[in-house]
């Protein structure tokens, strides 16, 4: 259970940052999805819902997804339905139910760098950047590996419209549960592949060696490499060995989907 002493709607991003800096016990609240399962004593909960950060906007060059956009908004945004083979919408659609996705936010999913995150796995296979109020814009991959030391506020996720097609595959023990393993692959019009594996159960990571093999047309080699080169762990949902086997299979399925033009 997360306890909260004070609840504040920030009137500006500067105010939100000031509140965040005022105490280590102050926290930005996204969807509040860990309210019951989390453990924290929060002094001031900072709500960003009045700052217009819930928009999903498409320009010629990029898609900007506001931090307070919900997973359901990602799922239903007309501009995301066709882009990247609809992979962003597809990645969030198995998460619990519509009601949950109406609450959970993009900003919290990304800023918290959750290992189980379907959305992070899909975003990492695209050319995505995060926009932070203090640290500025950085590649999602860098943010996942080395987040800024000082606490920050994520304002949007930006995905370059580079014509990529992508495919997403997840394996779940039961519908609506977290994925045991998530895989997303994408290919640009120039033939540049990206492969991201999440819920290992550590957070999503790319496998560059496997990407090179995909580009060379060696799908079986790439799948084996992704299962061997990345680190996998065990938890309630599956063993490291099982996850390695899944990584190989799901990578091949992404490849098949992209090769057959189904994604």
Partner 1 sequence: MKLNFELNGRKLEREIAPDETLLHLLRACGMHSVRGGCDTSNCGVCTVWVDDRPVLSCGYLAARVEGRRVTTLEGARAEAGELMNCLAAEGADQCGYCSPGFIMCALAMFRELGDPSDEEMRRYLAGNLCRCTGYESQMRALAKCAEGRRSK
Judged by the rule CB under 8 A, the positions of this chain that interact with partner 1 are 2-7, 9, 29, 32-33, 35-37, 42, 45, 47, 49, 72, 93, 96-100, 102-103, 175-176
Provide CB contacts within 8 A for 239, sequence distance 6+: none
Q: CB of 84: closest distance to partner 1 in angstroms?
A: 21
Provide CB contacts within 8 A for 179, sequence distance 6+: 94, 116, 118, 170, 171, 172, 198, 199
Q: CB of 59: closest distance to partner 1 in angstroms?
A: 27
DSSP, collapsed to helix, strand or coil, labels residue 102 as: coil
Sole residue written with tokens 């996942």: 144
Strands 40-47 and 27-29, by their bridges, are: parallel
Q: CB of 171: closest distance to partner 1 in angstroms?
A: 17
Q: CB of 215: closest distance to partner 1 in angstroms?
A: 35
Closest to partner 1 by CB, 96 or 135: 96
Closest to partner 1 by CB, 76 or 188: 76
Closest to partner 1 by CB, 7 or 150: 7
Closest to partner 1 by CB, 40 or 220: 40
Structure tokens at 151: 């606490």
Closest to partner 1 by CB, 3 or 137: 3
Q: CB of 47: closest distance to partner 1 in angstroms?
A: 7
* Measured distance between the N- and C-terminal CA atoms of the chain, rounded to whole angstroms: 40
Alpha-carbon distance of 183 to 24, in angstroms, equals 35
């Amino acid at each position: 259970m997360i306890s909260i002493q004070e609840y504040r709607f920030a009137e500006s991003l500067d105010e939100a940052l000031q509140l965040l800096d005022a105490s280590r016990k102050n926290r930005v609240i996204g969807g509040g999805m860990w309210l019951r399962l989390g453990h924290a004593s929060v002094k001031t909960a900072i709500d960003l819902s009045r700052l217009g950060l819930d928009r999903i906007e498409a320009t010629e060059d990029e898609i900007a997804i506001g931090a307070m956009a919900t997973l359901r908004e990602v799922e239903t945004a007309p501009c995301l339905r066709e882009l990247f083979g609809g992979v962003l919408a597809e990645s969030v659609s198995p998460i619990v139910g519509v009601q949950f996705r109406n609450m959970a936010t993009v900003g919290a999913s990304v800023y918290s760098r959750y290992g189980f995150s379907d959305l992070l796995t899909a975003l990492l296979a695209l050319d995505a950047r995060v926009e932070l109020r203090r640290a500025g814009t950085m590649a999602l991959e860098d943010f996942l590996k080395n987040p800024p030391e000082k606490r920050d506020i994520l304002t949007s996720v930006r995905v370059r419209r580079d014509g990529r097609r992508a495919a997403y595959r997840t394996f779940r023990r039961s519908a609506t549960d977290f994925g045991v393993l998530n895989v997303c692959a994408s290919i640009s019009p120039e033939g540049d592949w990206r492969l991201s594996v999440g819920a290992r159960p550590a957070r999503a990571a790319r496998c560059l060696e496997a990407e090179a093999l995909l580009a060379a047309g060696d799908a079986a080699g790439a799948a084996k490499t992704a299962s061997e080169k990345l680190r996998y762990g065990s938890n309630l949902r599956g063993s490291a060995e099982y996850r390695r086997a899944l990584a190989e299979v799901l990578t091949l399925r992404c490849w098949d989907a992209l090769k057959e033009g189904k994604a």
